[in-house]
Amino acid sequence: MTGTWINIAAVLLGGGLGTLLGNRLPERIRETVLHGIGLVTLMVGIHLTLKTQNTLIVLGSVLVGGLLGEWWRLEAHLERFSNRLRDRMAKRLSARNVQHFTEGFITASLVFCVGPMTILGAIQDGLVGDYSLLAIKSLLDGFTAFAFASSLGVGVLFSILTIFVYQGGLSLLAGLAQNALTAPMIAEMTATGGVLILGIGLLLLELKRIRVANLLPALVVAPLIVAALQALGIPLAP
């Protein structure tokens, strides 16, 4: 889990600096920075969605995943967990950090844990101790954490809990993950994750409030659809 610890340290460093400096920035600058992040997030989401070999797989994954997420009320549970963290820290937080805590936590958690570098890097780290891919991801996440935290505050720092559980868990279960996830599965998971990232971009731009967390089951549904199609001998390409 060396790569995960490096990733956590990078997010803490970048997010910590962003939190400290963000309080000194005027509201209009923080707003512009947040909208800039939103635009870049949309770009990243579009880039990831292009990894798909069949748009119908992504569509099916998002639809089924969304139904499951709404049924399980994942967004509400995640917000409740985030609010508990916020309430525990309320006495130590500024008004701005309290206001944006949940948004910062959920947004950063999704951005840092959705994507091929998370999956492939965690598997490499767990199997052979090669954390080079996660080290590159850590550098990117550190700068992203700085940008997020400067606008959304200290909630971004608590995304390390999600990184530890999800990315660290993948490293610990790397052998199983490598045997279970084929290249087409990872491609469709990545493309489906891109749709979720697009939802985050729309949220940051204040264009549409999407319950992105309720779409998280789509990341599990995508490889299951690929596995089913492969078992039936149906080609993935449309």
Q: Which residues contact 174 (CB under 8 A, 6 or more apart)?
A: 122, 123, 124, 125, 126, 127
Of residues 77, 99, 21, the one with CA closest to residue 211: 77
Q: Supply the pLDDT for residue 70.
A: 96
Q: What confidence tens digit (pLDDT) does each residue in 143-155 have?
A: 989 989 988 888 8
From first CA to last CA, the distance across the chain in angstroms is 38
Q: Supply the pLDDT for residue 3.
A: 93
Q: Supply the pLDDT for residue 184.
A: 92
Domain boundaries, the chain: 2-231
Q: What confidence tens digit (pLDDT) does each residue in 38-68 have?
A: 898 898 889 889 999 999 999 999 999 999 9
**Of how many residues is the chain composed?**
238
What is the pTM (predicted TM-score) of this model?
A: 0.85
Distance in angstroms (rounded) separating the CA atoms of residues 190 and 66: 16
Confidence of residue 138 (pLDDT cuts 50, 70, 90): very high
